[in-house]
Amino acid sequence: MATSRKTPRSRITRLRAQTRAIRWVNGFVLCLFGLSVGALAVASALPQRRQLEDKEQELARIHEKERQVLALKEDAQATYRALRDDPEYLELHARDRLNLYFPGEMIYRIERDR
């Protein structure tokens, strides 16, 4: 007569347990997905970071070279102005570099061994 039928209450309990398990699995999968996307974003930024560091080092080398060139330029300009405007410097330069001297003047040079 009475067939063995499961009560609706036990079916609801079983469905709730399955739903909780599915939610837990979905949450775990979502966390894994989020972590993998984050790791991918970080991994894609690393080569760009290395390139940025290389470019910054190259820029520092260029700035140092520019400072050296500017120092040479300033030195050459100072020498030019001194030759043009300062007669004492012009005389000193002529005596030292061009071996010029006044008539009757004796010059003694001490040469260094190179």
Quick one: pLDDT at residue 43? 85
What are 40-89's pLDDT values in tens digits? Answer: 888 888 888 889 999 999 999 999 999 999 999 999 999 899 889 998 98
pLDDT band at 4; cut points 50, 70, 90: low
Whole-prediction pTM: 0.48
Quick one: pLDDT at residue 6? 60
What are 14-39's pLDDT values in tens digits? Answer: 888 899 999 999 999 999 999 999 99
Quick one: pLDDT at residue 14? 87
CA distance linking residue 27 with residue 36, whole number of Å = 14
Q: What is the DSSP string of 42-97?
A: HHHHHHHHHHHHHHHHHHHHHHHHHHHHHHHHHHHHHHHHHHHH-HHHHHHHHHHH
Quick one: pLDDT at residue 107? 78
pLDDT at 8 over 80: no
Quick one: pLDDT at residue 58? 97
